[in-house]
Copies of this chain bind each other. A is one copy, B any other.
Amino acid sequence: MKLRVQCDLHFQVDTATALILMLRPLSGAQQRITQSSYLVEPDVKITESKDSYGNFRQRLVAPVGKFSVRTCAEVITTEAIDSAPGANFVEIQNLPNPILPFLLPSRYCESDRFGDLARKIVADALPGYDQVSKITDWVRHSIKYIPGSSDAPLSAVEVHQRGYGVCRDLAQLGITLCRSISIPARLVVGYLYQLEPMDMHAWFEAYIGRRWYTFDPTQSDLRGGRVIIAFGRDAADVSIFHQFGSGCILNTMDVQVNLLTDTL
């Protein structure tokens, strides 16, 4: 299927403020970008680079006044998402090197503190995919998904205590539980077609059976129509925008995902 995704950010800037943005989806195994645009108003210098996970990162200084970032892309992506019940746990010694960082605890995923809970949740599941399914189901049932319920990211410990959260919170708790039983897991930020209410979305992937698989604790069925913007250990690594200092405020953020008639 072909989607047109769009994200516009409108800031009010009181002091010139450095921003790091991640808003450019990248062609990859799961999606292909056929058109994209990236406009800032007023027009300032943007320095683009790739982070160590392969995401595009844009750095700029937002000038005083109104400042907007408008991005859009046309993307070919899949309607269905692979699942693989029974897929094997991969032994640590057999993991490819670039996977290793996703085993470690990170800012919002204190996997060094969740071993007991995780082992209880996956108790009788087969090592691998089935464990991650159990974890995803557990998160879906234990943590209430309330879009808009938090602003700044919370850590897995905090989300677990609180009992509710946004998509990012549920995804990060899932990641934390996976890592605590030595399954590599990473946060994905992107678009989901027909998400309700429409917004940026976050879900997670776990590395099982020698590849990454998608899990989404906020959605009851694992559907496609996903456009990935960035991967990372957690929201510290992948943030739609990260501002340095308190000199600017995001006034509005407009996200749209539309299906394009298949004219290819």
Contacts and interface: CB of A to CB of B under 8 A. Distances in A.
A213 B61 CA distance: 26
A32 B47 CA distance: 8
A92 to B, nearest CB: 3
Given A20-B92, A100-B20, A32 B45 contact: yes
Contacts of A126: none
A91 interface: yes
Interface of A: 18, 20, 26-29, 32-39, 43, 45-52, 57-61, 74, 76, 91-93, 97, 100-101, 103-107, 109-110, 112, 152-153, 182, 236-237, 242, 244-245, 264
Contacts of A38: 33-35
Which one of A52, A74, A104, A109 has the greatest number of beta carbons of chain B within 10 Å? Answer: A104
Contacts of A101: 51-52, 237
Given A51-B100, A104-B237, A152 B112 contact: yes
Number of copies: 4
A60 B93 contact: yes
Nearest to A72: B35
16 contacts: A18-B92, A20-B100, A33-B38, A35-B37, A35-B39, A37-B74, A52-B52, A52-B101, A59-B93, A61-B93, A92-B244, A105-B236, A107-B107, A107-B110, A112-B152, A112-B153
Contacts of A57: 100
Contacts of A47: 27, 29, 93
Contacts of A264: 43
A104 B239 CA distance: 11
A215 B51 CA distance: 27
Contacts of A91: 18
A26 B29 CA distance: 20
A242 B103 CA distance: 11
Contact of A32 (B46, B50, B237): B46
